[in-house]
Structure 1
Amino acid sequence: MKINYLSNAIIVASLFGFAFMIGCENKSTNADFDPDAPVIFSKSPMNNEDNIERNKVLEIIFDQAMDPSTINNTTITLQQGSTTINGSVGYSGTTARFTSQNVLAAQTDYTVKVSTGAKNASGVAIANDNEWSFTTGGNSEQLEVVELGTAGNYVILAKSAINNNPASSFTGDLGLSPMAESFITGFSQTPATGYSISDQVNGRIYAADMADPTPTNLTTAVENMATAYDDAAGRTAPDFVELYTGEIGGKTLTPGLYKWSNTVQITDDLNFSGDEDDVWILQVAENVTMSPDVTITLSGGAQVKNIFWQVAGEVTIGRTSHFEGIIFSMTGITLNTGASLNGRVLAQTAAIFDANTVVEPQ
């Protein structure tokens, strides 16, 4: 029995020693080791982690409070090869954060370094220089556009209703299916064979109860609309995740795939900057809300036909604001009084307008 007790004691001691070494992986093992030396308790991204979003804020958590004056761009650096990445370092509690000045490159290796210049509140430095690497995700090649199929024949396409408070101006065709023309209101339509016209529409108005081949054409267009929505929603390897926690007003968005799990708000002017072939896909799990008197602009040759908003919730464009892009909405799209839009409104429920100007892309 004594042998068993001794064996158990050895096992327990070994396990304890192993756990201690794991918890102190950054502690020095030399004879001069200071037991009060701080260590890095956790880090994000972790070593060799991949598919990291390109707007990632690096987090380094120490096991104790540090001297804030020693947590800076000298002691914490980010490098891509031999190039140092510009950014800002912040510190609160026991957590240091590095925020890159620009978004990181896609599919690229980066190295984080924390030097022994980082010290705790008592002036004791971390035991060793620390270094680890991660790889960004995103798309190293240009995104492919979302194919609209015949849904791209319409500036407005909806399933349950198109409601308009006159007078609005639409450039392009309007389509509604599977609901009848009676669910298109506020246009004072003049009927023709297979379509209607209106003084407010520089194009034609189509509904599911009109003469052939309109019903079949609309059925196909609505199916294509759903397929395009699923395509946009199904894109993987986002370049940007939860960018600015969904408040993108006042920002400039570069090309790429964006993903938010909450509502996106546009409270100030927003710019899309890229060339004529660049593509933006914005995946929004909740709503998109645009404040009044706000404008979306394009620069560098960016084209409205290459900006795709995939929104699971509602899209609300504020009074006298201006919006750019192709909108796919699962729940509904509303343009408030005097708002304008360059793009397309593709709603799997209703589209609602109030003295608006809507122009399809060229």
Structure 2
Amino acid sequence: MLALLVVFAAGCKKVTEEPGILGVCPKVISTNPVDTASGVSLNKTIDAIFNEAMNPSTINSLTFTITNGTTPIAGVITYAGTTATFSPTHNFLPNTKYTGTVTSGVRDPAGNAMVSNYVWNFTTGAGPDIIPPTVISTDPANAAIGVALNKKISATFSEAMDSLSTTTSFTLVNTTLGGVSVNGAVSYSGTTAVFSPSVNLTANTTYTGTITTGAKDVTGNAMISKYVWNFTTTGDVTPPTVTSTDPVNNATNVALDKNIAATFSEAMDPLTLNASTFILKQGANTVSGTLAYSGTTVTFSPSVNLASSTVYTATVTTGAKDLAGNSLVSNYVWSFTTGSIAPPSFLGSAAGFGAFGGNAGITNQGLNTIINNGSIGTTGASTLITGFHDGTNNDIYTETPLNVGDVTGGIYTAPPAPGNATSFTIATKALADATTAYNSISPASKPGGTDPGAGELGGLTLAPGVYKSASGTFKITNGNLTLDAKGDPNAQWIFQTASGLTVGVAGPSGARSVVMINQGQAKNVYWYVGSAATINGSGGGIMSGTIIASAGVTFSTAGNAVQTVLNGRALSLNASVTMVNTTINVPQ
């Protein structure tokens, strides 16, 4: 009989009857939620994913634990494929830090154990919504007179509602006739429920609308009391009109990432604002995109950036109707022309972003951070964007009184709201295009780079060309770097570093800049950074060019009030971008 051996290999322990067979280390390669995640839902199940199939019998309450401090959390553990799942018996506590541990007691089918325990942390969110919804406005308003006979009756709520409970809780009666019910259909969109009578209302008649306590928000909170209002008809046949557009008619030099909006003279029926009634065309080609309606304004967001130096025509058709059913008298048509400078072709959709934080997000610290002429994004959740607001629709991303960042373009993330499937698609495309651009300026694609300063670029004046750090890092610390285009506005510089990029030194006068002269333009400067870039940690300075880094970009340091400027873009493929009182001017 063969003796039972214990063989050690690369820290793995394997029990076998075959001498000389080495074990393969099992390990945890990812978790959900990820390490240091915040805002985790209270009913979240916890996953640990391994690099190989494991022995299910070794994955149990002794080897896979979730604790609150030293207190273990009760739950059920299951295993499928390469994923172990912990399902807590009860919801987690709000705003609480938990620790997950997978011990080295877990083994693969060959008996190999993990080298060491795998430990990670996450923090729960504030908990479920318990605030009851309210009706904040109605159309017609309470006690309104002169209401059109073909009027649709609407009620707007304080928050998103459960559509089924809302539509079944909306009634309308003829008060003049003693409370006779009015037949009709109720629809729900956004935060507004609309009652559409089956036939026109009766002239000179008082009606009563009621929203009962059966109306609930999406988390199940019901209204505390029913909402009742009255109005009296006479007859409204005034058609709506388009009062303004953005861009205005015949506008020029319109940004390529522009959202197109039309504002009406009155509230409209949102169900009549769709791809058939709001149309954007470039010549005979219809531009794809999404529509959103709020207040009296409908906004069209193109799926991709508009083409440069191109005339577009927008149309709102007579199919658009107000809540009384009155249509526009005629189609409203206007045109505009986009800017003459196209983004660099190899940047693709990433050209419209001033900052991109891979799947890890973007953080702002300070009151004076602004992204001019561009957007920001991440393929991660919207909660990974902190300290910013969206200049296109005023969505807030975890701003505080001390951390306010203005993005003049859009913010694109995965859900939860304000992130959505559409913005996630845009962010995913931008990251893919940024990765393609990163590879296109790599030493493999652009070989032959030189290193005139042995890794130190400060104090040099460089002509257009490709520059590669021999040591793997570039620094701009011994003074400013000057880029001389020699009169050519299309002159291009590509800097390649296999590891880091550092600009500036410590101290109040430590800021360094990249200076463009003789028609040199920041849009033609590119930085290929194999790991992370740190830009003027002491604050200040003017950096130039598009930085595409594998592992993050950091501007200034928390507490610095002096403004740090980037004329270009900060695109990180796999880590976050951090800014402190930073201005990013995206080249156009």
TM-score for the superposition, normalised by structure 2: 0.35
Alignment-mate amino acid for residue 314 of structure 1: A
Query: Structure 1 or 2: larger helix share?
Result: 1
2:378 is the counterpart of 1:169: no
Unmatched segments (≥5 aa) in structure 1: 1-144
Displacement of 1:212 in angstroms is 3.8
Q: Secondary structure at the match of 1:206?
A: strand
Distance 1:196 1:183 in 2: 12
2:426 is the counterpart of 1:217: yes
Residue of 341, 351, 356 corresponding to 1:157:
356
Displacement of 1:245 in angstroms is 0.6
Aligned to 1:357: 583
C-alpha change, 1:199 and 1:283, in structure 2 (3 Å) is: closer
Deviations 1:100-144 (A, max 9, x none): xxxxxxxxxxxxxxxxxxxxxxxxxxxxxxxxxxxxxxxxxxxxx
C-alpha change, 1:191 and 1:303, in structure 2 (3 Å) is: closer
Q: Secondary structure at the match of 2:430?
A: helix
Residue of 259, 264, 270 corresponding to 2:474:
264
Alignment-mate amino acid for residue 503 of structure 2: M
Deviations 1:323-358 (A, max 9, x none): 000000001100004311100111111100001111
Aligned to 1:335: 555
Unmatched segments (≥5 aa) in structure 2: 1-343, 398-403, 505-509
Distance 1:335 1:341 in 2: 9
Instruction: State whether residues 151 and 224 of structure 1, in contact with CA within 8 Å, keep that contact through their aligned partners in structure 2.
Output: yes
Q: Secondary structure at the match of 1:163?
A: strand
Residue of 307, 311, 322 corresponding to 2:525:
307
Distance 1:190 1:276 in 2: 31
Distance 2:352 2:527 in 1: 18
Displacement of 1:191 in angstroms is 9.6
Aligned to 2:303: none
Percent of pairs identical after alignment?
Answer: 28
Instruction: State whether residues 316 and 334 of structure 1, in contact with CA within 8 Å, keep that contact through their aligned partners in structure 2.
Output: yes
Aligned to 1:202: 408
Displacement of 1:204 in angstroms is 1.9
Alignment-mate amino acid for residue 161 of structure 1: G
Deviations 1:55-95 (A, max 9, x none): xxxxxxxxxxxxxxxxxxxxxxxxxxxxxxxxxxxxxxxxx
Distance 1:184 1:347 in 2: 14
TM-score for the superposition, normalised by structure 1: 0.56
Distance 1:190 1:307 in 2: 27
More deviation, 322-331/242-251: 242-251
Q: Secondary structure at the match of 1:179?
A: strand
Aligned to 2:31: none
Aligned to 2:445: 235
1:34-183 aligned within 5 A: 147-159=346-358, 160-167=360-367, 168-183=369-384
Distance 2:396 2:553 in 1: 23
Aligned to 1:249: 458
Alignment-mate amino acid for residue 334 of structure 1: T
Distance 1:173 1:302 in 2: 21
Instruction: State whether residues 190 and 196 of structure 1, in contact with CA within 8 Å, keep that contact through their aligned partners in structure 2.
Output: no
2:512 is the counterpart of 1:287: no
Distance 2:391 2:586 in 1: 22
C-alpha change, 1:173 and 1:228, in structure 2 (3 Å) is: same
Larger RCO (alpha carbons 8 Å, 6+ apart): 1
Instruction: State whether residues 493 and 525 of structure 2, in contact with CA within 8 Å, keep that contact through their aligned partners in structure 1.
Output: yes
Aligned residues: CA RMSD: 2.2
Displacement of 1:300 in angstroms is 1.0
Q: Secondary structure at the match of 1:245?
A: coil
Displacement of 1:192 in angstroms is 4.7
Q: Secondary structure at the match of 1:148?
A: helix
Alignment-mate amino acid for residue 329 of structure 1: A
Alignment-mate amino acid for residue 148 of structure 1: L
Instruction: State whether residues 157 and 175 of structure 1, in contact with CA within 8 Å, keep that contact through their aligned partners in structure 2.
Output: yes
Deviations 1:216-263 (A, max 9, x none): 11111110110100111133442x423211111011111111111421
Q: Secondary structure at the match of 1:166?
A: strand
